[in-house]
Amino acid sequence: MSRIVSKATPDAGIESIRPALDPGLSRARWSLLGIFLLNGITMSSWLARIPSVRDALGMTPKDLGFVLLAGAVGALVTVTLAGPIVNRFGGRAAMLASTGFFAAALVLLGVGPATGSVPLLAAGIFLNGAAFSLGNVPMNVESASVERRTGRTILPQFHAAFSIGAVVGSLVGAACAAGDVPVLVQFVGTAVVATVWRLVSIPMFVHATLPRPRVEARLGDAGPDGVEAAAVLHPRSRRVRLGAALGAWREPRTLLIGLVIMAAALSEGSANDWLSLAVVDGFDQTEAVGAVVFGAFVGAMTVMRLLGTRLIDRYGRVTVLRVSGVASIGGLLLFGFAPNLALAGVGVVAWGLGAALAVPIGIAAASDEPMQAASRVSVVSAFSSMASLAAPPLLGIAAEAMGARHALVLIVVAMVVSVLLSTKVAPLVAGERPAPLAGPDGGAPVPPTGRRAEGSGADEASLDDDARPEDAGVGAPDATAKPDQVVTHHAVPSTLRTRRRRAVRRHGATDPAPSGSTSHRREETPA
């Protein structure tokens, strides 16, 4: 628990109350930063040795492309199951499983080239993608939880740590390649270090993704905090549990946030795969120059992720996402049509600055409701995996027809879509809950409640009576919430409201809540 201390405010001459920093929160934050850094190192150290792996197996570019798709397939298969796994078994179990997958993947990535076995290499690439996806969901949910408990935007800093790790991993891979270190030795050593690092760090940051409690309370019973028991937690309600796990796939807001993250993944992933090649072929430069330009892209992303937290706190998610999208569009167009490399380099920097914050903003938006964060983060992460699966072959076909530099301009279409959908990342406030396309039991969807902190018109709806606390009047104020601060009043889950209404129609009335109970049950009397 955070310790409450007073802080003098010179202007007003009074004292304000603020939470003191919890040492456990600080440990969680730094251990998460270390895990993101480690993931970047692991990924880039493998990518930097791909030329050595290709030469050891005598693979053509076409063969290598098909083998690399195994990673995207593993990521896509695993990410669809990551949310239910985290909800059922908890983030610690998911992270431990991810650690085991990482260790096995790195060993196979080294053994495959050493033995001349393409199937072993493909298996390692598949497990590598699966490990990233399985660990990505609890890592991002825990990061969003740390951000909420800290009280300010820090999620981009975790992604900045990943970018820094990517630079370090590239340097490690380059040094090993220059020193003729066998890939088996490098990857086995990386597996040992990464496994120990993860096993030490996991207990320090897994707090928000604990397993769902097995409650025996009946539907409608009030718990210790006054919130009625929801059927989603009942161990015998398999149908409802399955509906809760898959419910995020029926929420329009979550799906649209997924499209935003898909556009961001296309932008960042295309730069990772094609930027160096586009510089070499498009401007007739050496591979060293292409690497320098790619380093400028990664550096711009890292700087913006470190500094972007203040921008999000000041201007809000929607505005920052819009400006980021416009910067990416301008940078891509400038890179694609610049007459010389110097001007194209300016476009690359603008592109990197614009691509930096879209994924952290999307993850934060998907994590607005802590109890649904794991399911929603797994959904939006699936969109990122879809982009990774589709982008390489599509851009490859376009590059054959128009060249790699001009093929990258096609990413502008995705960035325009991201700008148009920017209002969907606005924080949820006042107990707002996205309406599913269909109810968990197959019935009609429950209309959304509350409003968003940003936007107007279609983005704002009147507060539903069932989502209000008993003591809140019709005009209960909620404008005191900051634009990027999530406010909740323990809204009753839509499944519970639907079943209560059916019970009211069958029996005509419900018993009033017992004296002294803080249940949210509303009394209904027949006309």
Q: Are 436 and 444 in contact (CB under 8 A)?
A: no
Distances (CA, A) of 197 to 16, 76, 109, 194, 262: 40, 26, 20, 5, 30
Place of tokens 């606005």: 426
More confident call, 144 vs 505: 144
Q: What span, in angstroms and rounded, lies between the C-alpha atoms of 346 and 325?
A: 16
- pLDDT of res. 468: 41
Q: In percent, how much of the chain has pLDDT > 70?
A: 69
Query: 9 forms bridges with which residues in the sheet?
Result: 14
Higher pLDDT, 418 or 515: 418
pLDDT class of 505 with cuts at 50, 70, 90: low
State the pTM of this model.
0.66
Domain 20-209: which CATH number of 3.50.50.60, 3.40.50.150, 1.20.1250.20, 3.40.50.1240? 1.20.1250.20
Q: Which tens digit of pLDDT belongs to each residue from 274-304?
A: 888 888 888 988 877 887 888 889 889 999 9
CA distance 486 to 109: 43
Residue 524 binned pLDDT confidence (cut-offs 50, 70, 90): very low
Cα gap 55→463, rounded to integer Å: 62
Q: Where are the domains of the chain?
A: 20-209
CA gap 335, 343 in Å, rounded: 7
